[in-house]
Chains A and B, each alone.
Chain A
């Protein structure tokens, strides 16, 4: 269950996109947070960090090309390290000695993913070793869901839908993800862009994303003909 503290953080995040609100790290019981963007599994940009310890750790792991964040992006799974001092030396042979001087014992890297769409990674570091509690884990998952939707441009227009009500309106329906996959082939785009096009179509036609997705999956609607949508992409060759 998401805590009241995190619900408030999500509300603040919605009001000021692009930076994590002060107090987020405290709610998660960690010292520092870093948010990085990724394209094709590679970090492209450190978007925000709460201080130099986190940003130094993040820089080192992506410069050296190994570490929990890299593993999180590659596998789409959370990588939870309770104690860097206990990690086998051959797991991240270049990173471990490089970060040994930092006050970082526990590291939690949570990928920002929606199924096969990866937009970045949240790295949380703590100077004390040990796991997150169950409540902190729920809060961290809620935070990365919020960030993921924000980066996908899917963070609805009404602030109400952000707080309290399910964050993921429509995203619990299989048909929306199926339609996203179909559209990515039709339009020759990434899944992230396809989802954005689906949302843009639904919004501009005043329809729910679920209705629009059902029409696409049942082939009553194509977005690559007739209705170019607000941001047409040139069709590309797709394999298969």
Chain B
């Protein structure tokens, strides 16, 4: 990809995205790949996608970096942070300096944790559905960063793609189905965390390593990672068949 121009890389990503949306795609895997695309196309350090539940609290569904540290940072935005603000206002905000006094006083716990993780800048984009937001795309950078207008609109386009994928249908319109699909995405995420724990204990590995092994297995067998996680839990998938992580 290095020899490609930026425009070529962007269009390659959108072609890949359109291809993945056909058929019975793996939502969690798709959103993780989308987070990965954000990191490479927008030159950020990490990306995550958060969804609101029926009580309007945010939960992580996918991240470019599935380490416990990053997941914790997204989880903290359950009740504070730029994602929650973006979700509530339904508007994007870029170039947020997390060391800035305004950020520290608005989100003390979140800003402190972000700095401990070596993150300096955050950008947030709403997952828009009609006149409201259903979640947010959160980008982080280790240094100071100013997104160009072009990058900001690309990030919003990627956030819109995430919304389309979440709703899994071309003709959006029935609120009941939209909510059912968002709810299922949140449930799938919990299933994956439970399966990570089961595998980590069996293999004496970290949950992060267990996740990578499970994902590699799902990819190699063209299965959905959330289905694999369910099958680990109900024991219909023999975990002996999954290659163990190398560190275990």
Bound together? yes
The chain A residues found within 8 Å of chain B, CB to CB, are 1-2, 40-41, 76-78, 80, 113-117, 131-134, 136-139, 141-142, 145, 166-168, 171-175, 177-186, 191, 217, 238-240
Contacts of B198 in A (CB 8 A): 181-182, 184-185
CB of B176 within 8 A of CB of A180, answer no
Residues of B in contact, count (CB < 8 Å): 46
- Known contacts being A138-B179, A166-B55, is A181 close to B75, with CB within 8 Å? no
CB of B180 within 8 A of CB of A80, answer yes
Sample of 7 A–B contacts (CB below 8 Å): A40-B234, A142-B54, A142-B55, A168-B57, A178-B193, A181-B233, A186-B201
Shortest CB-to-CB span from B127 to chain A, Å, is 16
Of A116, A117, A217, A239, most B-chain CB atoms within 10 Å: A116
Contacts of B68 in A (CB 8 A): 174-175, 217
CB of B55 within 8 A of CB of A2, answer yes
Contacts of A175 in B (CB 8 A): 68, 72
Docked Cα-Cα span, A44 to B21, in Å, equals 38
Binds A, one of B32-40, B116-124, B142-150, B183-191: B183-191
Beta-carbon nearest neighbor of B198 in chain A: A181
Interface set, chain B 200-228, CB cutoff 8 A to A:
200-202, 207
Docked Cα-Cα span, A136 to B54, in Å, equals 11
- Residue B106 CB within 8 A of the other chain: no
Docked Cα-Cα span, A2 to B79, in Å, equals 17
- Known contacts being A77-B184, A78-B184, A182-B200, is A131 close to B55, with CB within 8 Å? no
Contacts of B177 in A (CB 8 A): 80, 131
Contact partner of B54 (CB less than 8 A), chosen from A1, A178, A181, A186, is A1
Shortest CB-to-CB span from B136 to chain A, Å, is 15
Of A1, A134, A182, most B-chain CB atoms within 10 Å: A182
Docked Cα-Cα span, A2 to B59, in Å, equals 17
- Residue B24 CB within 8 A of the other chain: no
- Residue B131 CB within 8 A of the other chain: no
- Known contacts being A1-B56, A76-B230, is A177 close to B197, with CB within 8 Å? yes
- Known contacts being A137-B176, A141-B179, A178-B196, is A172 close to B201, with CB within 8 Å? no
Contacts of A2 in B (CB 8 A): 54-55
Binary contact track B44-57/A, C-beta < 8 Å → 1, others 0: 00000000011111
Beta-carbon nearest neighbor of A195 in chain B: B194
- Known contacts being A116-B233, A131-B174, A142-B55, is A191 close to B194, with CB within 8 Å? yes
- Residue B171 CB within 8 A of the other chain: no
Shortest CB-to-CB span from B225 to chain A, Å, is 13
Docked Cα-Cα span, A137 to B177, in Å, equals 9
Docked Cα-Cα span, A186 to B200, in Å, equals 11
- Residue B13 CB within 8 A of the other chain: no
Contacts of B7 in A (CB 8 A): none
CB of B200 within 8 A of CB of A181, answer yes
Docked Cα-Cα span, A141 to B238, in Å, equals 32
Contacts of B23 in A (CB 8 A): none
- Known contacts being A77-B184, A115-B191, A116-B229, is A172 close to B176, with CB within 8 Å? no
Of B79, B176, B192, most A-chain CB atoms within 10 Å: B176
- Known contacts being A174-B60, A180-B197, is A141 close to B183, with CB within 8 Å? yes
Docked Cα-Cα span, A93 to B201, in Å, equals 43
Shortest CB-to-CB span from A48 to chain B, Å, is 22
Docked Cα-Cα span, A173 to B78, in Å, equals 9
Contact partner of B202 (CB less than 8 A), chosen from A40, A116, A177, A238, is A238
CB of B194 within 8 A of CB of A116, answer yes
CB of A239 within 8 A of CB of B235, answer yes
CB of B193 within 8 A of CB of A174, answer yes
- Known contacts being A177-B194, A178-B196, A178-B200, is A240 close to B239, with CB within 8 Å? yes
Docked Cα-Cα span, A40 to B234, in Å, equals 8
- Residue B19 CB within 8 A of the other chain: no
- Known contacts being A78-B183, A80-B180, is A116 close to B235, with CB within 8 Å? no
Docked Cα-Cα span, A179 to B194, in Å, equals 8
Docked Cα-Cα span, A43 to B59, in Å, equals 30
CB of B195 within 8 A of CB of A134, answer no
Contacts of B53 in A (CB 8 A): 141
Of A40, A77, A117, A181, most B-chain CB atoms within 10 Å: A181
Docked Cα-Cα span, A18 to B190, in Å, equals 25
- Known contacts being A185-B198, A240-B202, is A177 close to B54, with CB within 8 Å? no
